[in-house]
Copies of this chain bind each other. A is one copy, B any other.
Amino acid sequence: MSTAAARHQRLHAELRSRICLLDYPPGTRLSETALADEFGTSRTPLRRVLARLEDEGLVESRHGVGTLVTDVDLARMEQVYGLRLHLAELVGHLDPAPVTAEVLAGIAGYVARGTALVASPDARSFAQLNMDYHGFGLSLTDNLPLRSTAERLYFLTARIWLQSIPRMDLASECAIFLSEMQDTAAALATGDTQAAAAIRRTHIAMSVTRMAR
């Protein structure tokens, strides 16, 4: 693989992570020159990354003003959630991946991380774990376009939970999350990816209703 494409992927994932973990809160002005300087490159390859983030709806470049992190609210994102629910369900029906020992080891690891999170709740750790866990959930299907589509939509809504957590009970959210992972582990132990996908779907739906309060 060419190093240029690899660097592009790295920068894209890094900036996307910063945006979705609210290191760059909505409205933040990202400086192309500052970022290029930080990553030891010129503006040109960096603009390639920002362009992709703009196509994905995470930033918005305005001539003469700056590159602004987009603002998101639950109302505008409800359409995305409506679609995400169905896609989560589809993971269990469209080219489901065989449940290998590797998969079982993966879910066990997430249960462990979830247990640790419940022991010492932290909003940012929750968000990071949720992000990683979403990637794991996508690995349950071999349907590549489904994966990339669901990923795209996930990162579009990922920030909302962190924005809403001040109005919610963090400890309770962590416990619910761990509970979901445990249920998923049980489903995967029997090789039932459909059940795992259904669990994910209902979890997302309930999470939305809790945030909407």
Which of chain B's residues has its CB closest to A8's CB? B51
Judged by a CB distance under 8 angstroms, whether A31 is at the interface is no
Collect the chain B residues with CB atoms within 8 Å of residue A86's CB: 86, 90, 94
**Extra A-B contacts (13), CB below 8 Å, given A82-B94, A86-B86:** A4-B63, A51-B52, A52-B55, A55-B55, A79-B142, A79-B143, A79-B144, A83-B90, A83-B94, A83-B149, A86-B90, A86-B94, A145-B156
- Give the distance in Å from the alpha carbon of A143 to the alpha carbon of B52 in the complex: 22
- Give the distance in Å from the alpha carbon of A94 to the alpha carbon of B86 in the complex: 10
Q: Are B149 and A149 in contact (CB under 8 A)?
A: yes
Interface string of A92-104 (1 = CB under 8 A from B): 0011000000000
Find A51's partner among B2, B48, B95, B149 (CB 8 Å cutoff). B48
Interface residues in chain A, defined as those with a beta carbon under 8 Å from any beta carbon in chain B: 2, 4, 48, 51-52, 55, 63, 79-80, 82-83, 86, 90, 94-95, 142-146, 149, 152-153, 156
Per DSSP, are chain A's interface residues mostly helix, strand or loop, or mixed? helix
Collect the chain B residues with CB atoms within 8 Å of residue A51's CB: 48, 51-52
- A145-B94 contact in complex given A51-B51, A63-B4, C-beta closer than 8 Å: no
Which of chain B's residues has its CB closest to A3's CB? B63
Which of chain B's residues has its CB closest to A2's CB? B63
Which of chain B's residues has its CB closest to A79's CB? B143
Between A51, A94, A145, A156, the greatest number of chain B beta carbons within 10 A of the residue's beta carbon is seen for A145
